[in-house]
Amino acid sequence: MKHKTIIILLFMISIIMNSCNHMNKKKEVNDKENNDTFSFLIDRFADIKIMQYQVPEWDKLSLQQKKLVYYLSQAALSGRDIIWDQNYKYNLVIRRILENIIEHYKGDRNSKEWQEFMIYVKRVWFANGIHHHYSSEKMLPNFNKDYFINLIKNSPNSNWPLLENENLQQLIDKIVPIIFDPNVDSKKVNTKEGEDLIKTSSNNFYEGVTEKEVIEYYKKIKIYNDTNPISYGLNSKLIKINGKIVEKTWKIGGMYSQAIEKIVYWLEKAATVAENQLQKQVIHKLIEYYKTGDLKTFDEYNILWVKDTVSHIDFVNGFIEVYGDPLAMRGSWEALVNFKDVEATKRAEIISKNAKWFENNSPVSPEFKKKNIKGVSAKVITVVQLAGDCYPSTPIGINLPNANWIRRVYGSKSVTIDNITYAYDQSAKNSGFIQEFAYSQKEIEMNEKYGYLASKIHTDLHECVGHGSGQLKPGVTAEALKNYHSVIEETRADLFALYYIMDKKLIELNIMPTLEVGKTAYNNYIRNGLMTQLARIELNKNIEQAHMRCRQLIAKWAFDKGLQDKVIEKKIKNGKTYFVINDYDKLRSIFAEMLKEIQRITSEGDYAAAKKLVEQYAVKVDINLHKEVKGRYDKLNLAPYGGFINPILTPVYDQNGEIIDVKLSYSGDYVAQMMYYSKNYSFLPSYN
């Protein structure tokens, strides 16, 4: 839901940090590789770059820990098909057609058309489907339908995904308009006000129902209990059959059973090598949830998971975030396997231990503050495996669980993914980005000195205390803000981080050395929110993605509020636009005022106020500025989006079939990894 921070400053943050001199002395790979020879950048196509992340200190794990990571990683990869099918009901069919062509096509593989075909395939792989991973709009190929049909017909011996009694021509006739017609299922997630958000969204969470019917259905069955409200609809598809609305639950014996059975198989193996009894209970409870589909069991699993703060190895696996549902109810499947970066965790632990101070001293109205802070644990992690909605594009920070009542009563876990952030930083060096968009040499120098640290502290504050702060009024649920929920929640957490990153308390806690770090964070955030993130948006398009809306909402709102005093000033130099902060203290006061209002909207479930703010500040784009930014950005020849391939984990067996080691290596080949995953982790039928 709210808490998966694709703060997606993702690539933009990484670019902003491009010249940073900060080097982590631990960034060795198996004590052998070094950053001079390690290739972070693997592939580049369309608007995307593919990177390889390092896994430092892998060889310091015990054999038991390595086996645990291996089993959890196999469980993660086993659910790969689920996110594809959730994103769109024909995604698996299309993926299998595309991969059949790659494997069996007998024609010219050096032609321009073939190169365009491979770019399209790579984009589809990256998005886990045919809709763009960020804008959610359908991606159209740069080759024509006749060439596509030729590819199919010249790929003999292919195992085409045919329905019973369906021939190849019928399959072609069905799939061609789905891929090539811009008017067919054009948007995966539609959040446009005034439209039926369910009927106009192409995701596979609903079928045959309208937005009104969905809302009415849950009004009838929902029983609200303030101490234990169930996350209705989190793990099911809502469908109308013979005029009756029913839920198809994602569990063993239900929808996605074939993949979930494999997930459970590997989780059961993971339980045998758990680091401690509590971690074993966590894994067994997750298995029980996958077998029953019972959301009460999922809550019990989350409570146990939050309590486990001692295990070195940790993981996320399940139907978690709700960004893919315009009504913010249904969870996209994701998985992530990691271990703690002990040294880097010290900073996050300091923030976590002072969570009550941050809550008590926030500018939020007292009635909306938490009276007691429960178990806000924080750490910095090294990720080893990404899967589902976390792959190839991944968050740089996570705060879970999403259930507000669990967060209030039991607390939450907050993590910053250090090796992912580091890979972004390394791959983006010497890009020229900051030199192009920063107004002054002083801004550039501040970023060189403090940019990397500023982004990490912002992420820590956003995840550790931002999402964990505040409380809802009795009777208010997270669904109250409907299609504006995700953007308002990200705005709330970002404002919390922005307010405190300019607080002297962080210097007192030795989290940062000077307020110049906070000023650097402000420079980068305003520049990104008002200008540079527009490089990701197609001309004449609105902003759709929740995190991008969040950043523009904050930056434009702050610009307007400080307009009279020129707190933020728009300047033109050599025909280029820049945004310059003239008064950092006043800007912090504006952030405080904004945070107070956003928390009120959240706590009261004020849909009308949320709608007004988002539609006024977060959606529309200044077309002239947009054209300028795109032109300046294009000259730098950069890819605005980034994602990763996973390392390869290979078990080593003795003569008795027992694992005696797990070797970690790096693929360096995006196409090879995707084809390997499809051959070895395709467990769902093409139609579900």
Query: Given this model, what pLDDT does residue 352 score?
Result: 87
pLDDT of residue 343: 86
Q: Say whether pLDDT at 28 is over 60.
A: no
At 119-168, the pLDDT tens digits run 999 999 999 999 999 889 999 999 999 999 999 999 999 999 999 999 99
Q: Is residue 649 part of a domain?
A: no
Average pLDDT of the chain?
Answer: 91
Tokens of 312: 């070195």
Q: Report, as an integer, the average pLDDT of 365-369.
A: 95
Both 27 and 109 in one domain: the answer is no
Kind of pairing between the strands at 236-241 and 244-249: antiparallel
598, pLDDT greater than 80: yes
Domain count for the chain, please give it. 2
402 and 513 in one domain? yes
Q: Averaged over 297-326, what is the pLDDT? A: 96
- Regarding whether 640 and 569 lie in a shared domain, the answer is yes
In a domain, 616, yes or no: yes
Residue 607 in this model has a pLDDT that exceeds 60: yes
Contact status, residue 308 vs residue 342, Cβ threshold 8 Å? no
Determine, yes or no, domain membership for 137.
yes
At position 511, the amino acid (one-letter code) is I
Mean pLDDT of 469-475: 90
Q: Is residue 619 part of a domain?
A: yes
Residue 613 resides in a domain:
yes
- Per-residue pLDDT, 15: 35
Where does the pLDDT of residue 10 fall: very low under 50, low under 70, confident under 90, or very high at 90 and above? very low
User: Does residue 405 contact residue 224 with C-beta atoms inside 8 Å?
Assistant: no
CA 448 – CA 7 distance, rounded (Å): 21
pLDDT at 221 over 90: no
pLDDT band at 19; cut points 50, 70, 90: very low
10 lies in the same domain as 113: no
Crossing angle of the two packed helices 145-153 and 112-127, in degrees rounded to 10? 90
Q: Report whether pLDDT(3) > 70.
A: no
- What's the pLDDT score for residue 227? 61
Average pLDDT estimate for 23-30:
36
How confident is residue 1, by pLDDT bands cut at 50, 70 and 90? very low
For 440, the 3-state DSSP assignment is coil
What pLDDT score does 207 carry? 97
172 in the same domain as 47? no
Q: Distance between terminal CA atoms of the chain?
A: 24
Residue 661's φ and ψ, nearest 5 degrees, are -170, 160
Query: Are 462 and 554 within one domain?
Result: yes
Residue 670: what pLDDT? Answer: 97
Integer CA distances (angstroms), 390 to 198, 312, 335, 481, 644, in order: 24, 21, 7, 25, 10
**What integer is the mean pLDDT of 240-269?**
97
- Range name among 385-399, 475-489, 576-590 with the lowest pLDDT average: 475-489
Would you mind telling me the total number of residues written for the chain in this entry? Answer: 688
Do residues 420 and 559 touch, judged by C-beta distance below 8 A?
no
- Sign for the CA dihedral angle at 473, 478, 481, 485 comes to positive
37 and 171, same domain (yes or no): no
The pLDDT assigned to 119 comes to: 98
Domain limits for position 380: 4-57+341-644
At residue 223 the predicted structure's pLDDT band, cuts being 50, 70 and 90, is: low
- Residue 244 structure tokens: 């009756």
pLDDT at 23 > cutoff 90: no
Maximum distance among all alpha carbons in the chain? 77
Per-residue pLDDT, 25: 34
Mark whether 494 and 389 lie in a shared domain. Answer: yes
Residues 17 and 148 both lie in one domain: no
Within 10 A of 270 (CB to CB), how many other CB atoms are there?
Answer: 27
pLDDT band for position 239 (50/70/90)?
Answer: very high
Residues 436 and 561 in one domain: yes
Ranges of H-type helices in 105-210: 112-127, 145-153, 168-180
Structure confidence at residue 431 as a pLDDT band (50, 70, 90): confident
Mean of the pLDDT values across residues 80-89? 98
Q: What percent of the chain is modeled with pLDDT above 70?
A: 93
How buried is residue 596: exposed, middle or buried, by Cβ count under 10 Å (0-12/13-18/19+)?
A: middle
- Identity of the amino acid at 424: Y
20 and 148 housed in the same domain: no
Q: Residue 300: inside a domain, yes or no?
A: no
User: Do 598 and 662 sit in the same domain of this protein?
Assistant: no
576: in domain:
yes
| 24 has pLDDT over 70 | no
In a domain, 128, yes or no: yes
Q: What is the pLDDT of residue 387?
A: 98
pLDDT digits (tens, 9 = 90+) for 479-502: 889 889 989 999 999 999 999 999
